[in-house]
Amino acid sequence: MKRVACVTGADRGLGLSLTGWLLENRYTVFAGQYMKEEESLLRLQEQYPDRLYLIPLDIGDGTSVKEAARSIAGHTGHLDLIINNAGIIHNADEATILVDMDDEAMLQLYNVNALGTLRVSNALMGLLLQGKSKLVVNISSEAGSIGRNKRINMYGYCMSKAALNMQSSLLHNHLKKLGGQVMIFHPGWLQSYMHGEKNMQATVPPEESARKIMAIIQEHRQYAGDEPAYLDLNGNAWPW
């Protein structure tokens, strides 16, 4: 049976690099496309016309997620791997407790980073349970770790990632009884486009992060346990 994956937020950065790795390693990939103006996925599709499907997807919108799930189900009867990579940061979230905070910005962060990933996993669960690996990978952050938190701002982002981690635990408790599992990754300080422009001050190219994460994912069974594995890109465990 061919290996099939779905990657959200695949337009650029880590999502694009994860998609490229999967294609190079013979996966069929359904790539969640949020920004149609980005050409990188189109160029990748030219290389892999038979194994890369571009799926319009806004994980912050329930209707979009359901339409994407129907589209994927129209092409495959199973998924082996869901990578919930899509996420956002909001500039207003830089505020500390000493100034006015933007409730709407924080709600948007929670809607995408926490609820959005849950929408995707929920909508695709029927296909995942027909696959061999039954693996959900949630791209979280060091910002979701309470045990190693040193920040005094970014309330919305940090709380949304902590909520994503709890979501991962809940899902893992269920999936492990059905032969599956959940993994959570802090992908490093990425040279990503989270603020609109590529952050070249960051230390980790997305290609490096994707390669290291996927190497760990290939050995996912050794990380199966009572709790979902919460790891960085080098395989080091992170505290909840």
pLDDT digits (tens, 9 = 90+) for 170-200: 999 999 999 999 999 999 877 766 655 666 6
Domain ranges of the chain: 4-232
Q: What CA dihedral angle connects 100, 143, 117 and 90, to 10 degrees?
A: 40
pLDDT at 34 > cutoff 70: yes
Mean pLDDT of the region 155-162: 98
What is the mean pLDDT of the segment spanning 26-44? 93
Q: Which CATH superfamily is domain 4-232 in?
A: NAD(P)-binding Rossmann-like Domain (3.40.50.720)
pLDDT at 12 over 90: yes
Q: What is the per-residue pLDDT for 191?
A: 78
Q: pLDDT tens digits, residue range 86-145?
A: 999 999 999 999 999 999 999 999 999 999 999 999 999 999 999 999 999 999 999 999
Indicate whether 203 pLDDT > 80. no
Average pLDDT over the chain reads 95
What's residue 201's pLDDT? Answer: 73
CB-CB contact of 13 with 190 (8 Å): yes
Given a contact cutoff of 8 angstroms between Cβ atoms, the answer to whether 52 and 45 are in contact is: yes
Judge whether residue 28 has pLDDT over 90.
yes
User: Alpha-carbon distance 90 to 108, whole Å?
Assistant: 9
